[in-house]
Amino acid sequence: MSASSPDRRRFLALLGAGAALPFASACTAKPAAKGRFPVMKTEAEWRRTLTAEQFYILREEGTERPFTSPLLKEHRKGTFTCAADGTALFASSTKFDSGTGWPSFWKPLPKAVGTSSDRSLGMSRTEVHCSQCGGHLGHVFDDGPAPTGLRYCINGDALKFRPA
Catalytic residues, by residue number, are 153
**Interacting residues with Zn ion between 106 and 135 (CB under 5 A):** 130, 132-133, 135
What backbone torsions phi and psi does residue 146 show, to the nearest 5 degrees?
-65, 155
- 140 contributes a contact to Zn ion by CB under 5 A: no
Least spacing, CB of residue 85 vs Zn ion, in Å: 4
- Detail the DSSP E strand segments found in 54-155: 78-82, 88-91, 95-96, 104-105, 113-118, 125-130, 136-141, 151-154
In the bound state with Zn ion, the residue whose beta carbon lies nearer, of 9 and 132, is: 132
Residue of 84, 66, 81 lying closest to 20 (CA atoms): 66
- 158 contributes a contact to Zn ion by CB under 5 A: no
The Cα-based distances of 47 to 12, 58, 129 in angstroms read 28, 11, 18
- 82 contributes a contact to Zn ion by CB under 5 A: yes
- 84 contributes a contact to Zn ion by CB under 5 A: yes
| DSSP letter assigned to residue 108 | P
Stretch that binds Zn ion, among 23-31, 46-54, 84-92, 117-125 (CB under 5 A): 84-92
**Interacting residues with Zn ion between 85 and 104 (CB under 5 A):** 85, 87
Least spacing, CB of residue 37 vs Zn ion, in Å: 8
Sort strands 125-130 and 113-118 into parallel, antiparallel or unpaired: antiparallel
Interface positions with Zn ion (CB under 5 A): 82, 84-85, 87, 130, 132-133, 135
